[in-house]
Chains A and B, each alone.
Chain A
């Protein structure tokens, strides 16, 4: 239990009924609180997904601390190196040279020459006008056997441009070279591994292998990404990088996100089926892949993804109703999901449920799915509403206006009452804010896509209700699913 330092504060500004909220910013947030909940991955975790890659950060001590300790807790200090900046570097205009010489010094000290280095520059490099082209060109000339990946730890730009993790996911694919196309589909841009779902079923139907970065053990294996027949992003912050890769390689791309409504899941299933059948036909006849698919699908990078998908399906002349009727893939899974809902509902009953945005990229979508199926969802923890959730937002506002939206970074979050142990939480933040030991310990949707994904989630809810977890030991640890070599005092 937190020791209080003052009087209890009734939340005034950090929660609002959805019917009274404003899209897309339901809260007026100035100063920001950071809850002791760290299960999501940061740039260090993401960068180390690349086999054999080393990371070098060039920054001030205080900025370095978070990333180096992340690597230490991952047991990856052997692949993590740093170059600290001093105050004098800001004044004497030598940031380029200090960066180059510092990185060179690190490389020369290593026992083995890395094949690839993710070099992270920071906010200071931007603000001091550091010539990064010169930095990279010099390093590449000095170490021609090393690939230098342009990475950034520049959070000061994240509200007006891409976030560091979006840029990292892009950078991690920028040096992939085009290879002869094989019957491989790559699911990229996700920290968590995508679980069994319709993507695998449809891929199998056409004889394709589905590959994910999580299974790649060597850098050479990683470079085989260039042989993909189709690239798919599922997680929103992976969209930018994966679509850029497909565009550069002139290959088809699809964004198949964590949809939560029957209509949208069906659209994605049908779209993938049609796209893959077209690709397959070209490959089987020794033709190059139809570039028109690339053009069409790159439109999906736009904010209004769902509208573009409808347009695309229309262009394919897909009769959705007819397709669904004839598709065992869809009808079987729908029946199974309905059975699963009934089974889980009988166990969870009216237990109060809270969902947070770290657990799933569509927290409002999950709330909608659960509410529509009779579950007792009371709170959704988020700080802003993603454009991808606009439709879910307005649906919930209309249908379930009493649903509470609660901020996670508002300063009030530090001092409000947290004791609501009866809650079943989906996500670490929802768990911490309710101080409940019954929580689904997942991040970023946990790879649960489509109908099977929703069934996975329901199973995890039952499991969470049935067993207590050690909240105080679990949620302060970084990166769900990775090594956490540390103790929690």
Chain B
């Protein structure tokens, strides 16, 4: 059964993902929830709560308001707060009970926009998904609701956006610096970082970029949408170790070709024939975690060591972000079955509980999973 957890925590949820993605953009995020979502988010899933203001609130939904469909209270409360706090936009996020009773968030968003003249939109969340889906949908909502096409001016440098930069995957300032340094080192001109150490103004300039670099799967939906709306191609990959050069080369190639790609899929593969990769299939060296991070680290290790490493993906995933030989796991039992007797594992220390003592385990805390425990 893949729903029972004996020792592992669950990943940060979709509501936390949405909040994390929108945190620095100056909007007001309203979680339509009775209690708990905001506390969970700001305690376990957000490193900025005590350092930087952000207008993230819960609605304080009651059983009677849910049963009677009293959306008017929610609308009035949002308008009242918006009148006072003057956010740059308003985003609405859902939770289980409003999801079950079919609360019409599109209607509520329209009403709020009409009454307070501030752009309001819904971000699809329902608390049943992990942070990658919530942050991904939040970024998608930003593209759909806030971005406008801009003239792209040719320049000597390739202009890039970094998509998918939330503290859930990159909790420390140094993590973000590593990403921005990657741009500097390769002479890429960074237009916008989505969205840690950033601003709404930067984000609104994103359509000026030549290439989107998707550094975690949270940025994937936004990249796809920006490709549709603004003809910006994307490269998927997190710059790390020996994979950085391959990723940079792919950014340049995509800039020239206009064809998007997932960079780590073929990086460091000793055998280019997808149908003849028995050595890789046999590999029991695993990189465990979020799809882009795991895929990129596995690629870096393949390049640097010339050995096969496979990604074990434990978050939700979008089509096209894994190799056929990578492994997708849902729930603790599936992860345990894959990694318990492996040769080597790289991932959050929580996974170590599922491994036998013989496994060489490289501990790399993932904030979206173990939160503050290993910080």
Interface residue ranges, A against B (CB under 8 Å)? 2-6, 9, 12-13, 29-34, 36, 38, 60-66, 68-69, 72-73, 77-78, 81-87, 90, 98, 101-102, 105-106, 109-110, 122-124, 126-128, 153, 155-160, 411-412, 414-415, 472, 476, 478, 485-489
* B86 proximity list for chain A (CB < 8 A): 6
Query: Across the two chains, which residue of chain A brings its CB closest to B15?
Result: A62
Query: Across the two chains, which residue of chain B brings its CB closest to A7?
Result: B86
Chain B: residues with Cβ within 8 Å of the partner, total of 75
Query: Across the two chains, which residue of chain B brings its CB closest to A157?
Result: B63
| Residue contact B58 to A156, C-beta cutoff 8 Å | no
* B64 proximity list for chain A (CB < 8 A): 160
A82 to B10, CA, bound (A): 9
Contacts A124-B100, A411-B84; A32 near B10 (Cβ below 8 A): no
13 contacts between A and B (CB under 8 A): A2-B52, A3-B52, A5-B55, A61-B11, A62-B37, A68-B5, A69-B43, A72-B373, A83-B3, A98-B3, A159-B60, A160-B64, A411-B55
| Residue contact A5 to B36, C-beta cutoff 8 Å | no
| Residue contact B7 to A156, C-beta cutoff 8 Å | no
Which of the residues B9, B11, B73, B100 comes within 8 Å of A128, measured between beta carbons? B100
Contacts A61-B127, A160-B62, A487-B375; A9 near B50 (Cβ below 8 A): no
Query: Across the two chains, which residue of chain A brings its CB closest to B64?
Result: A160
Which of the residues A61, A72, A82, A156 comes within 8 Å of B14, measured between beta carbons? A61
A6 to B11, CA, bound (A): 32
Q: How far is the CB of B40 from chain A (nearest CB, A)?
A: 3
| Residue contact B43 to A61, C-beta cutoff 8 Å | no
Residue with the greatest number of chain A CB neighbours at <10 A, chosen from B44, B49, B331: B44
| Residue contact B373 to A36, C-beta cutoff 8 Å | no
* B14 proximity list for chain A (CB < 8 A): 61-62
| Residue contact A487 to B372, C-beta cutoff 8 Å | yes
* B186 proximity list for chain A (CB < 8 A): none
New A-B contacts (18) at CB < 8 Å, excluding given A3-B51, A33-B38, A128-B100: A9-B85, A29-B60, A30-B60, A30-B76, A31-B81, A32-B58, A34-B58, A64-B13, A65-B9, A73-B373, A81-B7, A86-B3, A109-B4, A159-B34, A411-B55, A411-B85, A478-B43, A486-B371
Does chain A have a CB within 8 A of B172? yes
Does chain A have a CB within 8 A of B155? no
* A73 proximity list for chain B (CB < 8 A): 371-373
Q: How far is the CB of B34 from chain A (nearest CB, A)?
A: 4
A158 to B61, CA, bound (A): 10
| Residue contact A412 to B84, C-beta cutoff 8 Å | yes
Q: Would you list which residues of chain B between 1 and 55 have a CB under 8 Å from chain A? A: 1, 3-7, 9-16, 26, 30, 34-40, 42-45, 47, 49-55
Which of the residues B3, B12, B34 comes within 8 Å of A123, measured between beta carbons? B34
The 3 closest A-B pairs by CB, nearest first: A62-B13, A30-B77, A66-B40
| Residue contact A65 to B16, C-beta cutoff 8 Å | yes
Q: How far is the CB of A396 from chain B (nearest CB, A)?
A: 27
Which of the residues A38, A158, A476 comes within 8 Å of B35, measured between beta carbons? A158
| Residue contact B12 to A65, C-beta cutoff 8 Å | yes
| Residue contact B171 to A155, C-beta cutoff 8 Å | no
Does chain A have a CB within 8 A of B129? yes
Q: How far is the CB of B147 from chain A (nearest CB, A)?
A: 20
Q: How far is the CB of B317 from chain A (nearest CB, A)?
A: 15
Does chain A have a CB within 8 A of B150? no
Does chain A have a CB within 8 A of B344? no
A207 to B373, CA, bound (A): 46
* B36 proximity list for chain A (CB < 8 A): 63, 66, 153, 155
| Residue contact B38 to A72, C-beta cutoff 8 Å | no
A36 to B54, CA, bound (A): 12
| Residue contact B9 to A68, C-beta cutoff 8 Å | yes
Which of the residues B60, B100, B372, B374 comes within 8 Å of A31, measured between beta carbons? B60
Q: How far is the CB of A301 from chain B (nearest CB, A)?
A: 24
A411 to B80, CA, bound (A): 10
Contacts A62-B95, A65-B40; A6 near B4 (Cβ below 8 A): no
| Residue contact A66 to B373, C-beta cutoff 8 Å | no
Does chain A have a CB within 8 A of B290? no
Q: How far is the CB of B250 from chain A (nearest CB, A)?
A: 32
Residue with the greatest number of chain B CB neighbours at <10 A, chosen from A13, A31, A415: A31
Query: Across the two chains, which residue of chain B brings its CB closest to A486?
Result: B372
Q: Would you list which residues of chain B between 228 and 250 have a CB under 8 Å from chain A? A: none
* B10 proximity list for chain A (CB < 8 A): 61, 64-65, 68, 82, 84
Q: Would you list which residues of chain B between 315 and 338 have a CB under 8 Å from chain A? A: 331
Q: How far is the CB of A85 from chain B (nearest CB, A)?
A: 7
| Residue contact A65 to B13, C-beta cutoff 8 Å | yes
Residue with the greatest number of chain A CB neighbours at <10 A, chosen from B35, B78, B130: B35
Which of the residues B3, B16, B50, B57 comes within 8 Å of A32, measured between beta carbons? B57
Does chain A have a CB within 8 A of B179? no
| Residue contact B6 to A4, C-beta cutoff 8 Å | no
Contacts A98-B3, A485-B373; A159 near B62 (Cβ below 8 A): yes
| Residue contact B61 to A38, C-beta cutoff 8 Å | no
